Amino acid sequence: MNLTNKIALVTGAASGIGMEIAKEFLAHGACVAIADRDLDHARLAATMLDPGGSRSLSVGMDVSNEDQVEAGVDQVARHFGAIDILVSNAGIQIVGPLEEFKFSDWKTLLAVHLDGAFLTTRACLKYMYPVGSGSIIYMGSVHSKEASVLKAPYVTAKHGLEGLAKVVAKEGAAHGVRANVICPGFVRTPLVDKQIPEQARELGISEDDVIKKVMLKDTVDGEFTTIEDVARCAVFLASFPSNALTGQSIVVSHGWFMQ
């Protein structure tokens, strides 16, 4: 699996899964734009992953803001001369029961996951279509397939990404652009660490029970998925050589969900 001379843009790459994907892409020879709404952390990640600085670029970008996405994607294309791979990964989690869910929180979550995926896709297609190739990877979730209590907007958004990927696969085919979704199970990142005490409070159970009886109860082995597991899948999808693998989703979840 070789990504030499490929230019990748990874959103939400200052932390967790996105940062590990940036690391693996660099290890496989790519140049990587580390985009995040938290520019300071994006810079820190770039310094850590690419101390020489020649194969990375940190970009401040709120993926739900059209102007920032357009400017950020243009900046990446100007800097590296192309964009071959987009990983639309930036995401947040807000948990709560539907009957109390604030409309503002609903809109914020959908904006990051769905507006973000649409805006970054549209901006990158501008650079992929003229050269006749590109690979777009959306960070879905087992929640692209399954529902859980307390996660209405997240489950809605993650299901929506599957629809977007299929449309991009169909429209992009004529231009050599593929689109796929990675669907991880629970991964110990700040996004998950934040929701363990929140879910314990909402469900009236211990944090240990949230992990064992909620998050990992349907896995085959009671194990968390790791950032490395997800990043390996991203390399596989990014480097896949043909349109045979497009419009698909890969579930990486220790068997929590089996297709």
Q: Does 17 bind ligand NAD (CB under 6 A)?
A: yes
66 sits in which H/E element: helix 66-80
- Figure out which of the listed residues 192, 200, 205, 245 binds ligand NAD, where binding follows CB under 6 A: 192
Rounded distance, CA 153 to CA 75, Å? Answer: 31
- Residue type (1 letter), 247: G
Q: Does 219 bind ligand NAD (CB under 6 A)?
A: no
For residue 172, how many C-alpha atoms fall within 13 Å in the half-sphere facing its CB? 30
Residue with token string 């140049």: 31
Per the residue annotation, which of 127, 129, 138, 154 is the catalytic one?
154
Q: Does 89 bind ligand NAD (CB under 6 A)?
A: yes
Per DSSP, what are the bridge partners of residue 178?
A: 135
Residues numbered 31-50 forming contacts with ligand NAD, rule: CB under 6 A: 36-38
Considering the complex, what minimum distance in angstroms separates the CB of residue 175 from ligand NAD? 25
Strand 56-60 relative to strand 134-139, pairing: unpaired
16/247 with CB nearer ligand NAD: 16
Rounded distance, CA 140 to CA 155, Å? Answer: 9
Q: Is 119 within 8 Å of 69 (Cβ atoms)?
A: yes
- Figure out which of the listed residues 8, 32, 57, 63 binds ligand NAD, where binding follows CB under 6 A: 63
Q: Does 14 bind ligand NAD (CB under 6 A)?
A: yes
Q: Is 169 within 8 Å of 212 (Cβ atoms)?
A: no
Considering the complex, what minimum distance in angstroms separates the CB of residue 189 from ligand NAD? 3
- Which x/- pattern over 115-144 shows residues binding ligand NAD (rule: CB under 6 A)? -x----------------------x-x---
154 belongs to the catalytic site: yes
193/243 with CB nearer ligand NAD: 193
- Figure out which of the listed residues 6, 12, 150, 160 binds ligand NAD, where binding follows CB under 6 A: 12
Considering the complex, what minimum distance in angstroms separates the CB of residue 98 from ligand NAD? 19
Give the neighbor-by-neighbor strand order of the sheet with 134-139: 56-60, 31-36, 7-11, 85-88, 134-139, 177-184, 248-252
b/e sequence 10-26, b meaning 16+ C-beta within 10 Å: bbbbbbbbbbbbbbbbb
- Figure out which of the listed residues 56, 58, 189, 239 binds ligand NAD, where binding follows CB under 6 A: 189
Residues touching ligand NAD, count (CB under 6 A):
29
Q: Does 64 bind ligand NAD (CB under 6 A)?
A: yes
Q: Which stretch binds ligand NAD (CB under 6 A): 22-30, 84-92, 94-102, 239-247?
A: 84-92
Rounded distance, CA 165 to CA 133, Å? Answer: 16
Rounded distance, CA 10 to CA 109, Å? Answer: 19
Which of 193, 229, 226, 191 has its CA nearest to residue 211?
193
70/129 with CB nearer ligand NAD: 70
Give catalytic residue positions.
154
Residues near ligand NAD (CB under 6 A) are 11-12, 14-18, 36-38, 61-64, 89-92, 112, 116, 139, 141, 184, 186-187, 189-192
